[in-house]
Amino acid sequence: MAIDQFQGPLEGLVIAEVDFGPDGDPSSLTMPPFALAEVTDDERFTGARLALTTHSQVKAFLDEFNVQLKSSEVE
């Protein structure tokens, strides 16, 4: 498992990535309680896309998942 913890304009965003390999079964993973959203198939959360994303855009993305940033993390 790889954990990406972002800083700067994306501070507060943490993404966990699990590699199941060619024969793995992603459906076998139980979402941990700290996971707020499943974004595997959401292109907005790929590294290349996040590199060009602003804090306001991430906040809008998270709003779609009903995830609210703490008031100290709002611009």
The set of residues, in sequence order, having a beta carbon less than 8 Å from that of 61 and lying 6+ positions away, is 44, 45, 53
pLDDT in tens, 21-53: 888 888 888 888 888 888 888 899 988 899 899
pTM: 0.72
pLDDT at 52: 92
- The ranges assigned to domains in the chain are 2-73
pLDDT at 69: 63
More confidently predicted of 68 and 24: 24
70 confidence band (pLDDT: 50, 70, 90) = low
41-54 in b/e form (b: 16+ CB < 10 A) is eeeebeeeebeebe
pLDDT at 75: 44
